[in-house]
Structure 1
Amino acid sequence: MEFRSKQLCISEAKEIDIVHYLSELGYEPLKVRNNDYWYRSPLRAEKTASFKVNRGLNRWYDHGLGKGGNLVDFAILYHNCTVGELLEKLSTSLSFQKPGYGQTLITTTSDNKLKIVRDTALSSYALLRYFEERHIPVQVADRYCREVGYQLNEKMYYGIGFKNDLGGFEIRNPYFKVGSAPKGITTFDNGADEVIVFEGFMDFLSFMVVHENEPEDRFDFTVLNSLSFFETARPFMEKHKAIRLYLDNDTAGQNCSRYALSLSSKYKDESSLYQNHKDFNAWVMNFGKPYK
C-alpha cells in the first residue's frame, strides 16, 4: 500500500483500510463473517476475539473497552501519539524505513517479504551510537543483541536484532522497528523464583544496565515483544512465585497490567517506578542510572 508524498489530511487518513493497516501491524483476524473481521484486541490483552472491524463501513469497535471509530481514532490510541504525528508518519509510508518523527509507529511484515541475510556481532557505528543515546553500554547490548541485515521488498536494510524463542528477530534502528517471522516471546530461564516481564527489549536491556552489579540469575526474564503474546507467555510466567510487570505507560500496556492483576496475586505492576515516562528505558534515560 503506497501513500503520496504530500501531507495526508485527516479525512484521507480516516479512509485507509483498517484491515490492511492491522495486517501491517502484525494482526490478522481470528474469524471473518461477511463484512465483520474479529481480532484479539490490539489495545489490550484478551483470550477471545472481541475487537471487530466492519470492512464495509471501515470502522472498528472494541467491545472490551467500549470504544470504536475510524482508523485515526484507533491509531492514536495504539501508538499513543497525536493526530499530527500520525498524519506525518502516514504521509511518509506504512513501511517506515525512512527517518521521521521519533520511533512511535511500528510495522511488522510477513516472512515472505522480509528475509534475514546477515546475522553478525554488533559493529555499525550508527547502531552503536543508537545504544549510547538509549543509555545502554555496548558491552550489555553485545550480550543479547546481534546486527542483522535483511531484505525487504528487494531492498537491503540493517538493524539491531533481538532474537525470540522461535528464532525470529525483533529489529530496530534509530528510525523504525520491524520483526521477522516466526514471531514470539523471548525468555531467559535462570531457575529463579521471580520473573521480570517487559514489553520490549530496550526496557529489558535498560534493566540489565541498572542491575549490572547484581547476579544475573537473581531473576528470570520474559520479553513479550508484543502485548499480543501475553497469553503465550503466561505458562512460563505463572510457573514463578512472583511476576513483576514493567509494561509501557500507555493505554495498551496499562490495560494489560490490569488484566494480569485480575488473573492472580502473583502479578505486580511495577510501572509506578517510571510513572512520568512512557517506559522503563525512557525513565533510565532521564532519571535512572547514568550512562558510562
Structure 2
Amino acid sequence: MKKLMCAEAKQIDLVDYLASLGHRPQKVRNQDYWYLSPLREEKTPSFKVNRQLNVWYDHGTGKGGDLIDFGTLYFGCSVSDLLDRLSHHQPAPSLSLHPPTHASRQHSGPASFAGERKDASGSRIVILDARPLAEPSLLEYLQKRCIPLEIATRFCKEVDFLLYGEKRTVIGFRNNAGGYELRSGNFKGSSSPKDVTFIDNHAGEITVFEGFFSFLSFQTINNNQQDTVSNCLILNSLSFFEKSRPLMEQHGKVHLVLDRDAAGIHHTQKTLQWDRDKYQDRSDFYHGHKDLNEWLVHHHHSQKEPQRLRRRP
C-alpha cells in the first residue's frame, strides 16, 4: 500500500475524517462545523472546522491547523505514524479529498485557522493574574470533585485570563514552561506554552498522570502517607507521552495512572512492550471508571475508608 504524503493527507476532508473517528458536528452554519472538542472534554461545542478551507480551530486551547496538526495531537503520534494510519484509511469512500485552496498557500500575514486569526504567541488565552484559591464557585467545583482545599492550594492557583475579550477566572495548574492548565465547572483549556509538569521529590520512582485532577486525586487518597512518595509527572496531554520517555527511563519504576479510555489504554500497553518490569499499570485500582478522579468522586460518600493506592513492590 502506497504511503500518503503530507500534501495528500492535508487534502482529506476534515469533516469526513472526524466522522470516521466517531465525531459528529453539534451544529452547522454555512461552511462552519462545530464539534465538542475531540482533543479535550467540554459540554459546549467550541471546536470549529471550516469545510471550505479544510482547517480547524479549537477555541478552548487557541490551537488550530490542518489535518496533520489535528491527527498528531489526537493520537499523540509523529507525522510519519499519522501518515501510516491515514494510508490504511485511504480506501474508505468516506474520506474524500479536497482540492487545494488558496487559503492553504503560504502568506506573510498572521495564520488563519478555520477563519480564526491567531496572534503571534500561538494562543488567544492571555493570563492576567494568578493568586491563591479563594473564588467561591471554584471552591465549590473542587468540593464537587472531592479535592480538599488544602491539597488544591499546594499545587494550584486561581487564575484570571482573557479569551476573545472575555475575562474568566478558573483553577490554574502550572506546567514546567510557565503555561497553565485551566479548569472550572464550565471551562477546560490551557494557555501557552503547553508542557508537562514534573514534581521532583528526589525519589527513585515516578508516577505518571494524564491530567492534573488525577494527580490531585492521588494526593487526596494518599495524603500524609510517606511510603507513597515518588516523583510525579503530569503529562497535561498524551501528546507529551513519547517525549517524556527519557525522563521516565531515569527512574527504577514507572507507575502509570492514565485514563481508562482508548488513548490511555493504548499508551499504557505501549509502555509494557518497552519494559514490563519497569513500567507498571496502576489503572486496575480505578477499574470501571474513566480516571482516578471519577473513582474518587464515586466512592466519596462510601462509609468505607478509601483504600490507599499502594505501589506494588
Q: TM-score, normalised by structure 1?
A: 0.70
Change beyond 3 A, Cα 1:223–1:150? same
Aligned counterpart, 1:204: 215
Is 1:50 matched up with 2:74? Answer: no
When the two chains are superposed, the root-mean-square deviation of aligned CA atoms in Å is 3.4
Match of 1:172 in 2: 183
- 1:125 aligned partner: 136
1:8 to 9, 15, 27: 27
Whose relative contact order is higher, 1 or 2, with alpha carbons under 8 Å and at least 6 apart?
A: 1
CA distance in 1, matches of 2:80, 2:59: 15
Q: Which residue of 2 aligns with 1:284?
A: 296
Work out which of the residue numbers 167, 172, 176 in structure 2 matches 1:161.
172
The equivalent residue for 1:251 is 262
What SS does structure 2 have at the residue aligned with 1:41?
helix
Which has the larger Rg?
A: 2
| 1:206 counterpart letter in structure 2 | S
Which one of 125, 145, 169 corresponds to residue 134 of structure 1?
145
Q: Give 2:295's aligned amino acid.
A: W
Candidates 56, 72, 76, aligned match of 1:20: 56
- Whether the 8 Å CA contact 1:192–1:217 is kept in 2: the answer is no
Residue 12 of structure 1 and its aligned partner are, at CA, apart by 7.5
1:236 corresponds to which of 230, 244, 247: 247
Assess if the C-alpha contact under 8 Å between 2:72 and 2:82 holds in 1: yes
Report the Cα distance in structure 1 between the residues aligned to 2:87 and 2:205, rounded to whole angstroms.
30
Q: Is the 2:209–2:258 Cα contact (8 Å) retained in structure 1?
A: yes
Residue 8 of structure 1 and its aligned partner are, at CA, apart by 2.1
Structure-2 change in CA distance of 1:189 and 1:217 (3 Å): farther
Q: Which of the numbers 127, 135, 150 marks the counterpart of 1:116?
A: 127
* Of 276, 279, 287, the match for 1:275: 287
Letter in 2 for 1:254: I
SS state of the match for residue 283, structure 1?
helix
The alignment partner of 2:55 has SS state of helix
Equivalent of 1:62 in 85, 88, 92? 85
Give the whole-Å Cα distance in 2 for the aligned partners of 1:214 and 1:289. Answer: 21
Cα offset, 1:201, TM superposition: 0.3
Contact 1:245–1:268 (Cα < 8 Å) also in 2: yes
Instruction: Tell me if the contact between 2:208 and 2:257 (Cα under 8 Å) persists in the aligned partners.
Output: yes
Query: What letter corresponds to residue 220 of structure 1 in structure 2?
Result: N
* 1:212-240 Cα shifts (integer Å, max 9, x gaps): 02128720000000000112222221100
Number of equivalences: 236
Superposition deviation, residue 206 in structure 1: 0.4
1:188/1:221 contact within 8 Å kept: yes
Runs of 5+ consecutive residues of structure 2 not aligned to the other structure: 1-25, 35-47, 96-115, 307-313
For 1:182, which of 181, 193, 196 is the aligned residue? 193
- What is the CA distance between 1:257 and its match in structure 2? 1.1
**Equivalent residue of 1:122, what SS?**
coil
Aligned partner of residue 241 in structure 2, secondary structure = helix
- Equivalent residue letter for 1:20: W
How much does 1:267 deviate?
Answer: 1.3
Kept in 2: contact 1:110–1:180 (CA 8 A): no
Q: Identity, % of aligned pairs?
A: 33
Gap change, CA 1:65 and 1:217, over 3 Å in 2: farther
Which of 172, 196, 206 is residue 195 of structure 1 equivalent to?
A: 206
